[in-house]
Structure formats: structure tokens, C-alpha cells
Structure 1
Amino acid sequence: MNPFEYHRATDAADALHSIGGVDGARFIAGGTNLLDLMKEGVARPARLVDITHLPLREVRVTESGGLHVGALVRNADLAWHPEVQRRYPLLSEALLAGASPQLRNMATVGGNLLQRTRCYYFYDIATPCNKRAPGSGCPAIEGLNRIHAILGTSEQCVAVHPSDMCVALAALEAVVHVQGPQGERSIAMADFHRLPGDAPERDTTLAADELVTAIELPTQPFARHSCYLKLRDRRSYAFALVSAACALDIAQGRIRSARIALGGVAHKPWRRPGAEALLAGQLPAVAAFEAAAAVLVEGARALEHNGFKIELARRTVVRALMQAAGMEAAA
């Protein structure tokens, strides 16, 4: 691990001042991802700015009826929070599907938003990786790519975003609040993470000197009919091969609106509003769910070892929608 400076921030202004002007400076909170990257030599920050003492642990109902969640709220605390379980059970399910209890007790909401891919080439500093060293190449494209992306890829990168929480937040259309030298701004969850394009080293639209302060969940009619379904190689502590966050607003037996997000298939949580629009006004039925799933994965591109993900994604969406609609008992 490389030598680095350490500073414990006393407030947001101090944190922003301490991160600015230092090339490679990073914020640290729970450290569940960043410390791993530092131990492996993937991340080599010149300075760590500890933000754990900032007042960003509040969970409260907003004036508009949504939910405000501070960036330092622990994943475990959020998953078991009464307001989350009552009003956003999809988020609670996704959080509890991620990592292990020990990690959830340390990991923060802000850190979860910013966690980096688990692509083995990214973690292996002996191999090229455009995400780690832009311009060096992407060996996953021709190499071992079973866990890699089938949607939104580029010739520069085929890595997937690893978060479970972010898939649920995408379906729930959360908003990320950030603070930087120029003031505060809000970023829709759909715009927070990036597809790789020609700059795969950039995971998000966040500037290097901006601090995530909170996420906000809008009022949603999906509490009664939602499901987070995660398929993985083993049940305990494994990242998703494919996951689906599905939520339905059903009234008088018909679907009024739907939200669907896929995880484990792209560089960011994957949504297509056109797939969701197909379900509006429909009776909950397998045929309707299959049509929406087909649109969601349209244009998927298989690599040598991950072609199974295309059909797996379709089936995962259908199964999750069935469970959300109450057509099948949760497995």
C-alpha cells in the first residue's frame, strides 16, 4: 500500500477544501471497497479525507412525502429502517441481498453508490485494463468474460456495475444530492452512473471534488407490488450474474405503471422506459411480462462466455414481475 496523507473532516466545507487541489485525493467512510482497492494496488490515493464525522446519517420523511437518506447511513440500518421496509421494500430487499452482514454494518449509502466493478482484470494490476489505465486495453473482451456485460458495452470496456442497492434505486427513480465547490446540485439516478463509451475510467458523472451528501426517494405507489430477484453462483456473499428490481402499481386488476431495472448486465443499472410503458394498462400476465423483458434486453451483445446472460436476464425479469404481481410465491 502506498504512503498517503490522512485528514479527518469536521464538516462538508472542510471535506471539500481538503479534497480540492490534491491529485488523487479520495473521500473515505466505511472503506469496504476503497481499502480493498488500496491493498491490491488498484487505488493509490495521495490523501484520504475521512468524512465519517459529518452529520450525514439522517433518515427522514421529506415535505413532499418522499424519504431523505444521508450518505453516511449504514446499509444495514437502511435495510431495516421501518420507513424503508414499509414504503420501499424493494430497496430493503436489494440491500439485504448484497454483501454480508458484517459488510452491511460498515458500508454506507454513499460508498455503495460509488463502489467499483469486480472485474478480475480491473483488480489484477499485472494485466491491462482501460478502467484502471486508460488506453492499455480490455483483455476481458477476448478473455474470461462470464461475469461481464451484455448491454451498453463499448470497445473500451465490458465491465458491470456490482451494486444491488443501485439497481433498486434506479427502479425507484431516486435522486442523488451532491455538494461541491460550486454549490449543491441534484442528479437523477438514471444520470448518475455512466456507460463506458470512450472513458471507462469514469464510473459516474460526479466530479472528483464533489461529495455525495444524500439520496432522496420520491413518493411511489409500488410498496405493495415489488420484488428484487438476484441470481448468483452461490447464495452467500456473491455478486449478481443477473438481478432485477421490479415494481408495479396495480389498481382494479390492471397495471397502471411499472418500473424495471436490471443489474449485473451493464456498466450501470439498466432501464428502458419503453419496456415499462408496454405494461401500462395491461393485466398482469406472463405474455405481457415476456414482451417487456424482450424489449429490455434488445440489442444485447454476447461475448464468448456470457451468452447465457441474455436468456437469464429475460427469465429473471419475468419471474420478478410475477412475484411482484403476486402471481408466484417468492422463492
Structure 2
Amino acid sequence: MTTMFVQLRRVVYLLVLLHFCTCVAYAESGSPVNEHVFKQKAGEFEVLWNELKHSLNNAEVSVIVLGGEIRACDVYSTRALNAVEQLKRLTKGTEAEMSLIHTSTTQKEMKEKWKEEKAALQEANDVLSNVPLAVNITRKAAEDFNKTLTEMERLSNDIISEATKILDSPPKLSHSSHHIFFEVEKLVVAGIKDGKDAQSFVAREKSKVRMAFEVAKEAEEHAESLELEVESFQKYLEKHGLNPEDSTTDSQQNNQTNELPEEEKEADENTAEDANEEGNVETPENNNSSQSNTPKPSDSSASGTSPSQEEETTNSPSSSAPDNLDNTQSSDNSSSPALVHSPLLLLVSMCVLGCTAVF
């Protein structure tokens, strides 16, 4: 029995030794299946890493583009706000100067005022035409950038997760394949670093997406306010007729109506002056002619004329005075307004002639 137990123990020792040798042999040679799976996982990790790097490059370009669109949209938003304030200021200024525009404001000032109003309307219309485009572009850029950030966040999380698995559970490789694991390990560590950088980039740049949507919304609101203000301003101009061409026409008509009475007054004054001058010139001539036709008292007494003859002589000058006046008028071929329209002068001259004849 003792001999049999000793022999059995020797057999067991041999079996254990054989199993140990077998395990050592398999461990040194490595498993081709494990090596293939490890290489496959390393390739997949590298693909994810390349996608992350490509997405990160696109995100860096997209964030620059988005920043430019945000600035452009903000500029149009500011222009819209300034245009609203400009139109309100012009409306208030026009209301304050309404009385001056229709009374004492010159045409030059009115044209300058209209140029300012026209420039303000043109600026407002330009902003209104560009704001919707800027808002749409900004929102589209923000949406695209947000998609890029979402993809980056997903890739970075996947890379970090896969890298952690590879490092925590290294595959069983042969000594000849250990260099493969070292290379994959370096790749995994670099991937983890890029994944963390991508996560930081996503957390930092997500605020720009929110900013872009806020700026676009603000610009849209300012554009709506500007549109209402433009409509109100145009209605105000049409209501009060603040068109410089219409104002110019009205002022010209007023000037013409004011000039007509002045011209009539000047014509009446010139006619009166001419009448006075002609009357002053012709009256002395008539007096001289009447005096020359009147006989002197000394002549009548010297010739010894009778009272009847004197009466005839006194009657003759009075009767010849109208004839002389008619002859004077016919010879001059003039119809003096002073003689025609002033019978007082004729009466005065006849009285003078009658008194001269009596004496």
C-alpha cells in the first residue's frame, strides 16, 4: 500500500508539473485572438480620435465665423435702434418747427431739412432690408456651431470612455507584442488629453451660441420697432405735407399773389405822378395864351372904345378861351388826364381870364 501511494503521488506531481509547463508555454506564445482584438480596438480608438480632431478644427473655424456674424448682427441691431431714435428726434423737431416751416423758414432750410429726413428714411429702409438677412445668417451659424459642439461632446466622451477601458484592462499579449501595447497606450493617453480639451472647449463656447440667439432676437425686435416708426414717420409727413416741392409751389403762389397788388400800386402811383406833371406843364401855357389874347385896359381907353365895345371885348376872351383850349389840345394831340379829369383847373383859368378882362 505504501508503495502504491508513493507511486500515485509521483504521478500527481508529474501532472501538476505538466499543467504548469503548458500554462507557461501558452503565456509565452500569447493568444493570437487577444492580439487581434486589441489591434481592432486600437484602430477604432484612433478613428474616434481623428474624428474628434477634425471636429475640433471645424469648431475653431466655426467659432470665428459665428463671432463675425454676431458682431454684424449686433451692428445692424444698433443701427436699427439709432434709426428709431433719429426718426423720433426728427418728428419732435418737425413738430417744434411747424410754425416756422410755413412762415419764416426759407426754401434752402426746407430743402436741407427734407434731405436730412430723406437720409434718415433711406438709412432706416437699408437697415430693414439687411436685418432679416443678418438675423437668419446668425441663427444658422449658431445652429451649425451648436451641432458641432454637440458632436464634439459626444466624441470626447466616447474617447475618454474607451481609453479608460483600454488602460484599466490591458490584453494578454506575448512579450514580442508588448511594443504594440506601449504604442496604443501613448495613443490612448493623447486621446484622453484631446477629449478633455474638447470638453473644455464645448463648455466655454456654448455661451457664444446663447449669445448669438440673444443678439438675433434683439436685432429682430429693434427691426420691428423701426418698421413701426418708419410707417408712423411717413404718415406724419404725408399728413402735414412736409414735401419741399409742395412747399416751394405754395410759396411761389403766395409770392405771385403778393406781387400783383404791389405792381398795381406802383402803376397807380406812376399814373398819378404823370398826371400831376402834365397838369403842371400845361396850366402855365394856358394862362399865358389867355393873357396874350386879353386886351389891356389902357389900350381900350386910349382908342376910345364905347362901353358896348368893351362888353364885346370882355365877352370875346371868355368865348375864345374854350376855343384856345380846344386848339391847344388838338395841336398837342394829347389827352391830358389833368385837364380831362380835373375840371377845377379849367374853371380856375376861366375865372382868372374873366377877372383880367374886367379890370
- Name the structure where strand makes up a greater proportion of residues: 1
TM-score (norm 2): 0.15
Structure richer in helix, relative to its length: 2
The higher relative CO (CA closer than 8 Å, separation ≥ 6) is in 2
Q: What TM-score do you get using the length of structure 1 for normalisation? A: 0.16
Structure ID, larger Rg: 2
